[in-house]
Amino acid sequence: MLLFPIVFSLVFLRKSDGKTLEVQHSKMRDPRYFAKSFTKLFDKNRDEYSGSGKIFLSREENILEADKTEEYPSVCDCVVYAENLEFRPHSGICFGKEIYSCQNAYLFGIEQVRAICCKKDMVLGNGTQVIRWVDAEGMLTVHDDCDLGISASSNTKIVMGKNCRFRRVYAPEIYFGSLPGEDNHNGHSISSDSVIKNVFRDIKYVDDGLVAETSVLKGSIITRHDITVLDHLTVRGHIRSHKSIRLCDGAVVYGNLFAEGDIYLGKNARVYGSVFTQQNIFAESGVIIGQRGKIKSVVARRKAVFDNGCRVYGYVTSEMRGECCPDAIKSSNLRKTDEDILPEATHPHWYRDLLMEKPGLAAISTVMLIVVIATSMFATSMNIKEQEREAFLEEAYAASLKPVYGADGKPDGGELDTVPTVITKDHVYFEDRVLERFYYDANDIRKCSEILNGAMSSLPEDVNKYLMIVPMRISFEDEKHQLYSDDIDSAINELYERMPPDVITLDAAGALYEHRGEYLFFRTSNKWTALGAYYAAQEFCNNTGIEMKRIEEYRENRYENYKGTLQALPYSQSLDNYKDYISYYILEGTKNEQTITDRRSRDEYITYNAPTIALSRLGYDIFVGSYFSHTILRGDAKNGKTLMILGDDYIKPFAPWLTPYYENVCLVSPRYFDGGPEEFWKLFSEYQITEFLVVEYVQNMRDSTVNIRIGEICAKQ
């Protein structure tokens, strides 16, 4: 008996043909599995089809030959097969079974499709609802408001319209919100050698200070914090975060993104590797993931939302729901489950005969049924009430957790700390804020005045000229804290005194000092808030004869949990407990429109229309945008007047306050301006500038990059 298994194995071995067991070494699931499995089964049994109208697949199914059919029933419960002719059913049909088309397929006006595979190109018209899967060997074009069911795939390309929903999508090239046939691929690609293995740990920002002059971080990032890559910077490695990842506009990552929290990809961001998150993925317009010829994966455990013009090379899956350009999701377009279209089951009702033979048993059963139903309804009602109560308590709890801000933007509503934790050469650190220090240098002021004098003197004589220097937060702190800085007001006044008589200097420091104690500057950034910019705009209006609208006429909105760049400093870890918020103000009935020329890379610019103030841009970029060259803010006045403003980032929340009083407000960012004097004067002439204003931070009051560029672009022709 002990030898029996051995003898049996030897006999079996001698009879076997010796073929090697085929093992699939690829660990990737075939994204076109549904279509391949169905076509393999169909092709296997098609040769045995006798024309009887029935074909055996996993079971016997009714089959409808599309080549011989002109009219379809409104609800078609047959497997449809189109062999020689294009598949073009008329509108208003629901297909409850699979469709197999050997030629092109065009489904316009089709309400519902269970599953369809096509050996060539396929088009799904507006509002088509796929229950299971859709697959095409050629290009798959999906028009607006479609639901792609469980899986949508193509062997070549998928182009998806607006308000489309999906679970899994695969194609070598996937275009979200693009027009059919549109392709603006730039041809750039990288190799695996481009990804550098050097690791940076526990950083929060990739900014200009970290990447120096190259704008490239050479290495990967592993961090426990939320990580932000600022505009147009490059990471030549992977990013792994235990929280969220945000790539700002035009940022590039050569490797993969892995996050436990949300992943936010800003406008025109580029990721050459795969993207994975346990939460949501949000991609703004122009985002590209992967590269042509190399399949990559985009996986979101919750939602994946792609804006217009996004592109993915490979596989996209979202366990909750994926959306393409979701302007408005209509409840009538929500995807139905398979059970919603199944016919009513027809089982033999054996219990009817039993109840007819024993009416007493029938009465008892009826009473018991009523009791069960009543009990069930009562339990359901109580369950609903309990759920409503729990929801109410959750809302109340969430409201109790919402921060109560103090006048200076501190989340706990308390007073600002008075004792510094660390003092360095450039900063004074507190638990709840960081103060930047100022150092007076007469040589810096002289150089700044020479540059600005040259720029102002190049302007036509009939143009009104203004200069505003923005002070620092430390100027409005307690006097003992101001001792850490040189006298800022005196330095500004010294520069003003060096300006020619035709330049009107604006006292922003005095205007802000009248509102000392309000939320004028962020605690986690050296920039001013929209409220601080409002008081400075008042100072400008007072000097130009404009009666400025009261701030109470505006609707205030907030972007919570803003973290400025000062949080990336070495001794500012405590700021994570005292985040800022951004207030942005909307005046009802105004245009809130701009035509912006944005820098996509060092040598590439793009011009497009966008809102002047838009929450979708997040952070400080809510105002105007990111690294723009110049932009035309559309004003509400019809007076033929255009104000031109040059300066640093402080002009972004400042300029929108002035659009009600001008036909246009032309905003120029000297650091990123697309061109030199010729382009500047062309812009100046085109909009017939009547008023010219320079606004810059006091730390730029020297031969800074901003001022050097102002001098260059304003040079006389």
Question: In angstroms, rounded to a whole number, what is the distance separating the alpha carbons of residues 345 and 363?
Answer: 26
State yes or no: pLDDT of 36 exceeds 90: no
Give me the residues paired with residue 668 across strands: 630, 646
Q: Are 421 and 429 within 8 A, CB to CB?
A: yes
Helix (H/G/I), strand (E/B), else coil: 707? helix
- Answer yes or no: is pLDDT of 362 > 70: no
Residue 686: its H or E element: helix 677-686
**Higher per-residue confidence, 5 vs 66:** 66
**Statement: residue 632 has pLDDT above 70:** yes
Instruction: Say whether pLDDT at 197 is over 80.
Output: no
Which residues neighbour 98 within 8 Å (Cβ) at sequence distance 6 or greater? 38, 79, 80, 114, 115, 116, 117
The string of pLDDT tens digits covering residues 284-311 is 999 999 998 888 899 998 899 999 999 9
Task: Kindly report, residue by residue over 668-688, the tens digit of the pLDDT.
Answer: 999 999 889 999 999 999 999
The lowest-confidence range among 232-246, 391-405, 427-441, 521-535 is: 391-405
What is the band of 389 on the pLDDT scale with cuts at 50, 70, 90?
Answer: low
Helix (H) or strand (E) holding 257: strand 257-259
Q: Return the pLDDT at 265.
A: 95
Instruction: Please provide the DSSP assignment of 78-113 as one string.
Output: SEEEE-SS-B-PPSS-EEEEEEEESS-EEESS--EE
- Range of weakest confidence among 2-16, 120-134, 254-268: 2-16
Question: 29 versus 111: which is more confidently predicted?
Answer: 111
The whole-number average pLDDT for the span 595-607 is 85
Q: What is the 3-state secondary structure (H, E, C) of 512-547?
A: HHCCCCCCCECCCCCCECHHHHHHHHHHHHHHHCCC
Q: Pull the structure tokens for residue 384.
A: 């609903």
How many Å apart are CA 440 and CA 449, to the nearest integer? 14
* pLDDT for the residue numbered 181: 43
Cα 166 from Cα 580, distance rounded (Å)? 36
| Mean pLDDT of all residues in 245-259 | 93
Q: How confident is the model at residue 52 (pLDDT cuts 50, 70, 90)?
A: confident
The alpha helices in 99-237, defined as continuous H runs, are: 208-211
Q: Where are the domains of the chain?
A: 33-176, 192-308, 424-713
* Single-letter amino acid, residue 561: N
Please state, as a whole number, how many other Cβ atoms lie within 10 Å of the Cβ of residue 220.
22
What is the number of alpha carbons within 13 Å of residue 129 lying toward its C-beta?
Answer: 19
pLDDT digits (tens, 9 = 90+) for 311-361: 999 999 998 889 998 874 333 333 333 333 333 333 334 344 444 445 555
Question: For 581-635, what is the HEC assignment?
Answer: EEEEEECCCCCCEEEEEEECCCCCEEEEEEECECHHHCHHHHECCCCEEEEEEEC
Q: Is 683 helix (H, G, I), strand (E, B) or coil?
A: helix
Measure the CA–CA gap between 132 and 113, rounded to whole angstroms: 8
In 184-229, at which residue ranges do the beta strands (DSSP E only) sit?
199-201, 205-206, 216-217, 220-223, 227-229
Split at pLDDT 50, 70, 90, the class of 15 is: low
Name the most confidently modeled range: 8-22, 379-393, 558-572.
Answer: 558-572
- What pLDDT, on a 0 to 100 scale, did the predictor assign at position 321? 83
Going by pLDDT thresholds of 50, 70 and 90, the confidence category of residue 183 is very low
Mean pLDDT value of segment 26-36: 71
d(CA 318, CA 244): 17
**Distance (Å, whole) CA 251 – CA 268:** 8
**Is the confidence at residue 655, as pLDDT, over 80?**
yes
Q: 190: pLDDT confidence band, cut at 50, 70 and 90? A: confident
Given a cut of 60, whether residue 129 has pLDDT beyond it is yes
Lowest mean pLDDT among 158-162, 179-183, 267-271: 179-183
Give the confidence band of 44 by pLDDT, cuts at 50, 70, 90.
confident
Give me the chain's average pLDDT, please.
85
Rounded CA separation 67/634 (Å): 57
CB of 451 closer than 8 Å to CB of 703 = yes
Strand partners for 597 = 607, 630
CA distances from 674 to 387, 607, 679 (A): 58, 11, 8
pLDDT of residue 425: 94
Please name which of 467, 470, 474 lies closest in space to residue 438, comparing C-alpha atoms. 474
Please give the average per-residue pLDDT across 137-159, as a whole number.
92
**Cβ-Cβ contacts under 8 Å for 18 (sequence gap 6 or more):** none
The length of the chain is: 717
pLDDT (0 to 100) of residue 716: 79
**DSSP secondary structure string, 448-493?**
HHHHHHHHHHTS-TTSEEEEEEE--GGGGS-HHHHTTS--HHHHHH
